Amino acid sequence: MKLFYTLNSPYARVARVAALELNLADKIEMKEVTVREPNSELLNYNPTGKVPTLETDDKFILSETRIICAYLNRFNDDIKLFANIFDASSLQLEGMVGGFLDGIAVWVREIRRKTDEQSLKVIKLEQLRATRCLEHFEKLSDILDQQSKFSHIMLGCTLGIMEARLTQFQWRQKHLRLADWYDEFSSRSSMQATVPEA
């Protein structure tokens, strides 16, 4: 299998962390690629040009983080990445973290634009969304554990891209328990091996 990624995509990082947590490093060739370029190698596999992209051993092309992680989970039955469909609280967490990640990704993309092209309205909207989400996860921090669940991997990768790309957003001081959870979770070897560029 081949997993295509970029170093700073939090979505691709989720898939990379999941692959490592599932002990699939020897079964997957990790391929760093460029995106948003007309000659990107990735376009030979996925016309959307999005990461992560997984080429299976059967030459199927899988796109979207959750689909890829669910597929990879088939190769290790000992670890259950995803919430049981009858566990409403876990499903709720997974959905909330997904929305949090999407908002942070929009914010990061916006501030990468030239200053005179940035939308202050979009930035303010995403900052408010992030603040609400952080407050929500702070309240849940007592029940967050250190298991390699999809929701936890997503949350860790979202906080990681915030720290790498949104350095002006000082979230730790008001969310001490969540920060403690993140510090412990991010010490995992899978997280350390996939740290985004500063």
DSSP code for 196: P
Name the residue among 30, 4, 17, 1 with its Cα closest to residue 157.
17
Distance CA(65)–CA(126), nearest Å, equals 21
Q: Give pLDDT tens digits for 44-91.
A: 999 999 999 999 999 999 999 999 999 999 999 899 999 888 889 889
How confident is the model at residue 143, as a pLDDT? 85
Q: Give pLDDT tens digits for 152-181.
A: 999 999 999 999 999 999 999 999 999 999
| Residue 95 CA to its chain's centroid (Å) | 13
Task: Tell me what percent of the residues of the chain surpass a pLDDT of 90.
Answer: 90
Distance CA(18)–CA(193), nearest Å, equals 12
**What are the extents of the domains in the chain?**
2-73, 88-188
- Helix/strand/coil for 37: coil
Write out 149-166 in H/E/C secondary structure: CHHHHHHHHHHHHHHHHC
pLDDT band at 101 (very low <50, low <70, confident <90, very high): very high
Distance CA(103)–CA(120), nearest Å, equals 14
Q: Give pLDDT tens digits for 119-146.
A: 999 999 999 999 999 999 999 988 899 9
Architecture of the domain spanning 88-188:
Up-down Bundle (1.20)
- The CATH number assigned to the domain with range 2-73 reads 3.40.30.10
What is the rounded average pLDDT of the residues 176-194?
97
How confident is the model at residue 19, as a pLDDT? 98
